[in-house]
Amino acid sequence: MGIVIFDGVAYGMLLFLIAVGLSITMGLMNFVNLAHGSFAMVGGYAASVLMSRYGVGFFPALAAAFVAAALIGAVLEFVFYRRLYKAHPLDQVLLSIGIVFVSIAVFTYFFGPTMQPFQLPPLLDGRVSLGGLEVGRYRLFLIVCGVLVLAVLLLGIGKTRYGAMVRAAVDNQRVAAGTGIHVQRLFFLTFSLGCGLAGLGGALSLGMLGLEPSFPLKYLVYFLIVVCVGGAGTVTGPFIAALLVGIVDMAGKYYWPEAGAFLIYVVMIVMLLLRPNGIVPRKGIA
Amino acid sequence: MKTFTLTPARLRGAEIVFWLALASCFFLLPDKLTLMSQILIFGLFAVSLDMALGYAGILTVGHAAFFGAGAYAAGLLAKHGWGEPFTGLLVALVVCAALGYLLSYLVVRGADLTRLMITIGVCVLLAELANRLSGITGGTDGLQGMAMWPVLGLFEFDLYGKTAFLYAFGVVLLMFLGVRLILRSPFGLALRGIHDSRKRMLAIGSPVESRLRMAYALSAAVAGVAGALLAQATQFVGIESIGFNRSAEVLIILVLGGTGRLYGGMIGALVYMLVHDAFADLNPEYWMFWLGIFLIAAVMVGRGGIMGALSRLAKRSAS
């Protein structure tokens, strides 16, 4: 029982790490970005290639994953996304599905369709005893990462000048621009940050979910559930939703394997019926 | 140069020519009939999506749920001893209309994002269901062993797909005319109104929500018939007829042809399937690459798909 919940929490943290960037782009910038998993994949492959081909350590590889995904995100924002912030959601959906398809094809071409090899670093290998529970070190590490990122984002968006500017620009772009905020640059930075977080999550998922070219489609629904059930545009909402999804999914697959895969969708539909704007709705959209 | 204007009479002429040209494939391309039937069926599927997306403005990325449900409904009926084609279509229609109407309560409310989510979620849920209940659906192997009875008790389904083509042609034409009738009725005009300005339609007292629900259910029913047709024509239901990839595919077909236009779906299916057929030897991954590039280009450059480009051309030559 305890170990199922612990593993569920660790899984949830991983989902949170990847999906929180999506919550930022989808909620704050109102962009339906179905290609978020592609950015996670960029980070994951960057980390994997650096580790297996160039012998880079695990932690530097994580940092590199963040940078690589943020860079790709920045380029795509500059070329495509920024033209569509005010477009119809259908256009955003089409663009991002297009990016997903292209990314799957490109990664298959360069890396083949198989799962990326991954070796846990010795520090995170094995188990450790925690309150009478034998838990995997890697999973514990995931939980620590999740809580850290949550804290940093809450502080960053709630307390810093940058966060205040983002919130202002989201509420009213014209007024924000009038006060001298460079909205376009701000969105550019925020989008890249979201992609970087996705990349970090992608690299961390090497040890838990495994990474293959179909990753962006395979987990797309999970990221979307976390964001929509949690409440797009918030940080705490996806955190709660990711824990919920992680635990429900893990427990379902463990105790009730025949129906485990459905449980999550049932939870999603019930949650969206009860709270159409998410567990933690963003201020202003009642 | 003589100017060419599109008058209603000429439009009707173009429509008749379009369907006659499709029908003439029966004589002109006897070895491509299977492909032509699939084009017709996917065209109908895209038209059904257009009802929901292009006319009612309901953003859905899970329309394959209904296509697949219809296919399985007709397939299971035929497998378990009742292979009469038209009843199969009717069952699929009723099942999908009911399913669509139930789901419409979930889909019509909420914001675009929630809607997107629910439609994807339901589609993936049904795909997972089809995969898990392999005792009933055949799982990843697909549903096999359908025995179709002759159409109208007279025409056997043959190996060359002649009967299948004529059957698909007849059904698609009838369904298309039905959809056209609905969309040109006051109900269809109200949908257009809602698509353009929901607030104004509310202000003039139009029952917006119930109209959208009705449109979604009708669209689901038409998608179900398309799925059932494919199942009957190929006497097989694959697991890939339901699920996100099929939803994305039909979205691509519709966008290629042009949304919010009666013939957008048909033209899109024609072009998409012909190109797909020509590239059939390509690795599916590369095919995906080109699809992705096309989608990005469609958003960035072309507005309104092929039909949009045609109507721009027609306007230009008219002025």
User: Could you report the per-residue pLDDT of B183-238, keeping only the tens digit for each?
Assistant: 889 888 888 888 888 788 888 877 888 888 999 999 999 999 999 999 888 888 87
Dist CA A50 CA A64 (whole Å) = 8
C-alpha span between B188 and A245 (Å, rounded): 40
Mutate to test the interface with A, among B296, B301, B303 (most CBs of A within 10 A): B296
Q: B38-42, B140-144, B274-278: which range is least confident on average?
A: B140-144
Q: Dihedral sign for Cα B193, B197, B202, B204, please.
A: negative
- The beta-carbon contacts of A164-169 under 8 Å, at least 24 apart in sequence, are A166/A28, A166/A190
- Residue B244 is predicted with a pLDDT of 82
pLDDT value for A104 = 92
Which is higher by pLDDT, B39 or A261?
A: B39
Cβ B93 vs Cβ B218: under 8 Å: no
- Between chains, do B121 and A225 touch, taking CB under 8 Å as contact? yes
**Pairing of the two strands A127-130 and A133-136:** antiparallel
Average pLDDT over residues B124-129: 84
Looking at the complex, does the CB of residue A263 fall below 8 Å from at least one CB of chain B?
Answer: no
Token pair for residue B117?
């989510």
A210: number of Cβ within 10 Å: 14
Is A26's Cβ below 8 Å from some Cβ in B?
yes
- Neighboring chain A residues of B129 at a CB cutoff of 8 Å: 262
How far does the CA of residue A55 sit from the closest CA of chain B (Å)?
A: 30
The interface predicted TM-score of the complex, written ipTM, equals 0.83
SS3 A134: strand
The count of CB pairs under 8 A between chains A and B is: 119
CA distances from residue B4 to B302, B314, B316 in whole angstroms, order as listed: 24, 8, 10
B307: pLDDT strictly greater than 80: no
Strand partners, A127: A136
C-alpha dist (Å) from residue B150 to B83, B188, B227, B237:
8, 36, 19, 19
Smallest CA–CA distance, residue B59 to chain A, in Å, is 7
Q: Are residues B125 and A93, on separate chains, in Cβ contact within 8 Å?
A: no
Q: What is the pLDDT of residue A257?
A: 77
Which amino acid is residue B64, in one-letter code?
Answer: A
In Å, the largest CA–CA distance within chain A is 58
* Kind plus residue range of the DSSP H or E element containing B223: helix B208-234
Which pLDDT belongs to residue B6?
60
pLDDT of residue A56: 85
Interface of chain B toward chain A, CB-CB under 8 angstroms = 53, 59, 61, 106, 109-114, 116-118, 120-122, 124-125, 128-129, 132, 244-245, 248, 251, 255, 259, 285-286, 288-289, 291-296, 298-300
Rounded distance between C-alpha atoms, residue B319 and residue B314, angstroms = 9
Nearest by Cα to A217 from A91, A96, A111: A96
Rounded mean pLDDT, B263-286: 82
Helix axes A89-111, A36-54, angle to 10 degrees: 20
pLDDT surpasses 80 at B29: no
Round to whole Å and give the CA distance between B121 and A89: 18
Positive or negative, the CA dihedral B216, B219, B225, B229 is negative
Q: Are B232 and B87 in contact (CB under 8 A)?
A: no
In chain B, the largest separation of any two C-alpha atoms, in whole Å, equals 66
CB count, 10 Å around CB of B133?
13
Give chain B's end-to-end CA distance (angstroms, integer). Answer: 12
Half-sphere exposure of B47 (CA within 13 A, CB side): 28
Q: How far apart are CA B50 and CA B55, in angstroms?
A: 6
pLDDT in tens, A122-140: 777 777 777 777 788 888 9
Contact criterion met (CB below 8 Å) for A28 and A153:
no
d(CA B160, CA A259) in angstroms, rounded, equals 42
The answer to whether A168 and A181 have CB atoms below 8 angstroms apart is yes
pLDDT at residue A41, as a whole number: 94
Q: Which residue positions in chain A have pLDDT lower than 50?
A: 284-286
Query: Can you name the residues that pair with B237 across neighbouring β-strands?
Result: B143
Q: Does the beta carbon of A203 lie under 8 angstroms from any beta carbon of chain B?
A: no
Query: B96 pLDDT band (50/70/90 cuts)?
Result: very high
- Please compute the mean of the pLDDT values over residues B15-25 and round it to a whole number: 81
Question: For residue B123, what pLDDT is reported?
Answer: 87
Buried b (16+ CB within 10 A) or exposed e, A149-170: bbeebeeebeeeeebebbbbbb
Q: Where are the beta strands (DSSP E) in chain B?
A: none
Please enumerate, as own/partner, the contacts of B148-151 that have beta carbons within 8 Å and a separation of 24 or more.
Answer: B148/B78, B148/B83, B148/B85, B148/B232, B148/B235, B149/B83, B149/B84, B149/B85, B151/B85, B151/B86
On chain A, the residues whose CB falls within 8 A of the CB of B128 are 261-262, 265
E strand or H helix that includes residue A136? strand A133-136
